[in-house]
Amino acid sequence: MGDRLEHGYDIIDCHHHHGNVQDSMGAMPTALVPESLKPEDYDRFELETRLAGMDAQGVRQAVVIGGHSYLRPNGLADTRRVNDGVAAYRDRLPGRFPAAVGIIEPLYGEAGLPEIERVRHELGLVGISFHVRFQGVSMDSPWVRRMVGRMVEFGLVPFLHAPSESPENALWKIESVAAAYPEAPMIVLDPFSSYEQTRQAPYVAERCPNLIFDTSLAHTFGMVRPFIQNFGAERVVFGTDIYSLVPHGSHVLPEIIASDLDEADKIAVLGGNLRSILGLAPGGGE
């Protein structure tokens, strides 16, 4: 990881994933579990590795999101297991992981709706994530919109993935969801993950003021800076898309810190905006 990044900001990362992705992304070296690791040591190793990556960049907190590429031969029971797991991960170290975000599968249809209420009232989750590349539908699916509507009723924040190489997750499809519930804040993940999508994002942002955009997978902060100039720092939150056992850190974080943003805007992007959206208290200890 190199030298520790020193700064005075109270940072919360909006985009960590929890769960083993080896079954779906095992061809990627960062997805592989070390062969020498015993199964009973996996949870300890995973947590220590994640914390080491956060500490190396001075990131105090992160929101943990369930991993979307889990195997689900038992359907809803497997989804409930993922949601229970991400809630337990939060509860293990609430000072470092103050909020958790669950998953619901659009293809469950009506049968999936009760899980939305359960994750809110029984598990205390703050949101639900959609990454439709792994969910067998398109982001503009009627069932995505219906489930987002139920989430809004329960005060859950939608986390909508938008990696640029996935047409199912296209920004214009996210726009259709946001437009259906214009008063509900929604967080867009990976929106600056390509040049073309970075150019498209301002048009979607202008039409949907309820969308907040994270910095995950941005090639440089220079791709995000014009967006902030046009729409204000309140429309951007810091994220990294950490999902693996290898903490790759964020090259964008030091660029934000060294940028010409004024101090209030840096504080907002690096933590203030997300804590406000999710109702998290600033400066909470471990």
Mean pLDDT taken over the chain: 92
Residue 148 identity:
V
Give the E-state strand segments of the chain in sequence order: 11-18, 59-66, 99-103, 127-130, 157-161, 186-189, 211-214, 236-237
pTM of this prediction? 0.94
The count of structural domains within the chain is 1
Does any domain span residue 283?
Answer: no
pLDDT per residue over 177-227, tens digit each? 999 999 999 999 999 999 999 999 999 999 999 999 999 999 999 999 999
Cβ count near 221 (within 10 Å)? 22
Residue 277's SS3 state is: helix
DSSP assignment of 218-276: -S-GGGTHHHHHHH-GGGEE----B-SSS----SHHHHHHHSS--HHHHHIIIIIHHHH
What average pLDDT score do residues 36-62 get?
Answer: 89
192 within domain boundaries = yes
Q: Does the structure show a pLDDT above 60 at 284? A: no
| 34 within a domain of the structure (yes/no) | yes
Any domain includes 207: yes
Structure tokens at 194: 């390509």
Question: Is the model's pLDDT at 84 over the cut of 80?
Answer: yes
Is 2 part of a structural domain of the chain?
no
3-state secondary structure of 52: helix
- Collect all residues with Cβ–Cβ distance below 8 Å to 279 and sequence separation of at least 6: 126
In a domain, 4, yes or no: no
Q: Nearest-CA neighbor of 100 among 115, 91, 90, 108?
A: 90
Residue 169: its H or E element: none
Does any domain span residue 6?
no
Confidence of residue 97 (pLDDT cuts 50, 70, 90): very high
Which CATH number is 138's domain given? 3.20.20.140
Q: Look at residue 19 and tell me whether its pLDDT is greater than 60.
A: yes
Q: Is residue 286 part of a domain?
A: no
Is pLDDT above 80 for 246?
no
C-alpha atoms less than 13 angstroms from C-alpha of 103 in its C-beta half-sphere: 31
- 170 is in which domain, residue-wise? 11-278
Res 20: pLDDT: 74
